[in-house]
Amino acid sequence: MERDEGEKIIESGIPIAPSMEPTLQTVYLPEDKNIYNYRIIIISLLAIGLGIAGGIVAQVLTKLIGLITNLCFYGVFSFNFNSPAQNHLGLWVILIPIAGSILVGLMAKYGSTGIRGHGIPEAMEQILTNESRIQPRLTFLKPISAAISIGTGGPFGAEGPIIATGGALGSLIGQLLKTSADERKILLASGAAAGMAATFGSPVAAILLAVELLLFEFKPQSLIPVTLASATATALRIFLVGSTPIFALKNVTEPGSIALIIYLLLGLIIGVSSVFVTKSVYYVEDIFDKLPIHWMWWPAIGAIAVGVIGYFSPHTMGVGYDNIDNILNGKIIGQTLIVLFILKFVSWTISLGSGTSGGTLAPLFTIGGGLGAAIGYIVLSLFPNSGVDIRIAALVGMAAMFAGSARALLASVIFAFETTMQPYGLLPLLAGCSAAYLVSSLMMKNTIMTEKIERRGVKVSNEYEVDFLTQILVKDYATTKVYSINSDDKISEVREWLNSGGEGTLHYGYPVIDKDKKIIGILTRREIENAKSQAERKISEIIKGNLVVIYEDSTLREAADMIAFHKISLLPVIAQNDKSKLLGLITHDDILKARRINIEKETLFKRNISFNNLKSRKRKGKNEIAQT
């Protein structure tokens, strides 16, 4: 079949005729790049409602913990938030955590196993594996079980269960209404952020925590609702309990350069400690997994350690926000400080590893703050002119412990700032938390939040990066030398031309044009070869489906999405300002080619570094031999 060059090669563009054939009623164009629509308004309004609900949940759970604590340790009916540390029960104090843990175990067995653990990993798992669908019953069972566990002396913070409850409430609303999986994730994260903001009065840290641990993305559609929920919950907290920082620090001076270096080194030490703490929790959990009894009884076994340690060190029991405040303000020092954070670590690790219900933030802050303060005292005694402030050392230790164990760097820094409102702590926090984050990343694959779900086969990424394909435009990889087929040609003629092996016969697909030189569809080589039994039919008669096109200034990610969604192999490329002209074609092979080139560049860079290091080592070895 003879064809002139004008028919074969598209140079100036061929007009598109979407309605020339009955099978081509519509041209599918790329969606408008405008990211905003009315749905973001609806989700934002729901997020504001979640902010109010999260603020209420935080207050209710705090009161409930206070009631259970007062009843169990003091025999008083009161909702005041008290520490169990002042009890006078003697040895009887050992039985209270055990009784509470038995109740939690029964609730987990006959209510929902989802109440086990500290809440955030479970929420992450539902986001990654179950389209953000959390069992509705957890909205009630999680806070009740946590109140029992903490109120009877469990060494946990209330923030974890509050965050989990807020997330469960957001998921429940998303399930009751017609929302997509992505919207449910946003509502879940909004509820979780509201819970944290309402607990600590730290709205920005709550937003960052949601971004770093729950959303797995950073885009306006998710950031706006989460921000509104966090701000609303904080405003409600201010209305109910005031705006005073929960761990206020006063009279802190600006750190000098030597002090900043010491805080950086402190962060490195805390980073190593955070790895040890994380591995210890899961080591204890592995021990409980090997016990020959039902997991329902594990919390009660763990509670024995809580009770015994609580008898000798009552301040290790309960939430421990007062401990954090006393450590940060230098009210607990010396041997008392060391004993407190070591025994808190032992009590919390055993109890959490047993699978009971409770949070991790407050215990990590206590352990990290105590260790940071202790190291600060040692440094100050050896170098009294170093300019180190014990309170800032404790603050860095507190935040760095969470940054290292959870890998939530920004949330840790901003949380420490918002809960103390101490601007002179920002530079030490940035230094210390970054160092801890670095050490943790080098020494530990997973985090205290992701280890459990990774063991269940759920892959969690600790790095959120822009997809390379979103940075490359279609026009950079599209084929502009395109060979076309006439719509009136017979299938046999086209097959004969393809089998001739001439120029243009080895392409993957071909646009089909009518007598007016307008494109009416796309056919692949396979489709043409499979139609050999219809040899005498016109080529236009085997075109199926609607024409799907992509703009030349669209990204390769958008092209890949359209290819996947429409189950096709190639896309015609058109101009944004002239949708009637065909400029070229792009196939899935072109997209993979772009990815391959990027991988090859990265691999070559790494190989060059390794090669240069190898040459350097060889030169060093030769010099040593020569010197010898």
Domain ranges of the chain: 5-30+469-592, 38-455
Report which of residues 14 and 590 the model is more confident about. Answer: 590
Distance in angstroms (rounded) separating the CA atoms of residues 415 and 172: 28
> Is the predicted pLDDT of residue 619 greater than 70, yes or no?
no
| Cα 143 → chain centroid | 23
Interval 50-69 mean pLDDT? 91
pLDDT in tens, 96-144: 999 999 999 998 888 888 778 767 777 787 787 877 888 888 888 888 8
Indicate the SS3 state at residue 176.
helix
Predicted local confidence at residue 83, as pLDDT:
86
Predicted local confidence at residue 224, as pLDDT:
94
Predicted local confidence at residue 44, as pLDDT:
94
Nearest Cα to Cα of residue 270 among 167, 424, 161, 406: 406
Tell the residue number behind the tokens 């609580």, with chain if given.
Answer: 310
Question: Helix 220-241 to helix 38-74 angle, to the nearest 10 degrees?
Answer: 40
> Is the predicted pLDDT of residue 51 greater than 80, yes or no?
yes
Distances, alpha carbon 485 to alpha carbons 466, 489, 510, 511, 583, in Å: 39, 8, 7, 6, 16
Give CA angle at 177 (175, 181), nearest 5°: 50
Report which of residues 351 and 522 the model is more confident about. Answer: 351
Distance in angstroms (rounded) separating the CA atoms of residues 267 and 209: 20
Predicted local confidence at residue 173, as pLDDT:
92
Report which of residues 259 and 481 the model is more confident about. Answer: 259
Report which of residues 605 and 232 the model is more confident about. Answer: 232
Predicted local confidence at residue 517, as pLDDT:
76
Distance in angstroms (rounded) separating the CA atoms of residues 322 and 421: 17
Indicate the SS3 state at residue 584.
strand
Q: Which CATH number fits domain 38-455: 1.10.3080.10, 3.40.50.300, 3.40.1670.10, 2.40.128.280?
A: 1.10.3080.10
- Kindly give, in sequence order, each residue whose CB lies less than 8 Å from that of residue 113, ignoring residues fewer than 6 positions away: none
Predicted local confidence at residue 14, as pLDDT:
64
Q: Which two tokens stand for residue 188?
A: 């879940």
Would you say 158 and 61 are in contact if contact means Cβ atoms under 8 Å apart?
Answer: yes
> Is the predicted pLDDT of residue 505 greater than 90, yes or no?
no
Predicted local confidence at residue 610, as pLDDT:
54
> Is there a shared CATH topology between the 5-30+469-592 domain and the 38-455 domain?
no
Indicate the SS3 state at residue 628.
coil
First to last CA, the chain: 79
Interval 29-39 mean pLDDT? 65
> Is the predicted pLDDT of residue 306 greater than 50, yes or no?
yes
Distance in angstroms (rounded) separating the CA atoms of residues 184 and 123: 12
Q: Which two tokens stand for residue 323?
A: 């401990």
pLDDT in tens, 444-463: 988 888 887 887 777 777 66
Question: Helix 390-406 to helix 361-382 angle, to the nearest 10 degrees?
Answer: 140
Predicted local confidence at residue 265, as pLDDT:
96
Task: Give the 3-state DSSP-derived string for 177-245, with helices as H, strands as E and coil as C.
Answer: CCCCHHHHHHHHHHHHHHHHHHHHCCHHHHHHHHHHHHHCCCCHHHHHHHHHHHHHHHHHHHHHHCCCC
- Kindly give, in sequence order, each residue whose CB lies less than 8 Å from that of residue 305, ignoring residues fewer than 6 positions away: 346, 347, 350, 351
pLDDT in tens, 315-370: 999 888 888 999 998 888 888 899 999 999 999 999 988 888 777 888 999 999 99
**pLDDT category, 4, cuts 50, 70, 90?**
very low
Interval 237-251 mean pLDDT? 89
**pLDDT category, 284, cuts 50, 70, 90?**
very high
Report which of residues 7 and 516 the model is more confident about. Answer: 516
pLDDT in tens, 550-583: 888 888 988 898 888 888 888 888 887 776 778 8
Predicted local confidence at residue 22, as pLDDT:
39
Q: Which CATH architecture has domain 5-30+469-592?
A: Roll (3.10)
Predicted local confidence at residue 229, as pLDDT:
96
Interval 385-405 mean pLDDT? 94
DSSP letter assigned to residue 464: -
Predicted local confidence at residue 16, as pLDDT:
65
Predicted local confidence at residue 399, as pLDDT:
96
- Kindly give, in sequence order, each residue whose CB lies less than 8 Å from that of residue 438, ignoring residues fewer than 6 positions away: 268, 271
Number of alpha carbons in the 13 Å side-chain half-sphere of residue 535: 6
Give CA angle at 613 (612, 617), nearest 5°: 115
Interval 503-524 mean pLDDT? 80
- If you average pLDDT over every residue of the chain, what do you get? 84
How many helices and strands in the chain, by DSSP H and E?
Answer: 22, 9
Query: What are the two backbone dihedrals, phi and then psi, of residue 20, each rounded to the nearest 5 degrees?
Result: -75, -25
Interval 149-165 mean pLDDT? 85
**pLDDT category, 20, cuts 50, 70, 90?**
very low
Predicted local confidence at residue 388, as pLDDT:
92
Predicted local confidence at residue 112, as pLDDT:
82
Predicted local confidence at residue 526, as pLDDT:
81
Burial class (CB in 10 A: 0-12, 13-18, 19+), 73: buried
Calculate what percentage of the chain has a pLDDT beyond 70. 89
Predicted local confidence at residue 9, as pLDDT:
42
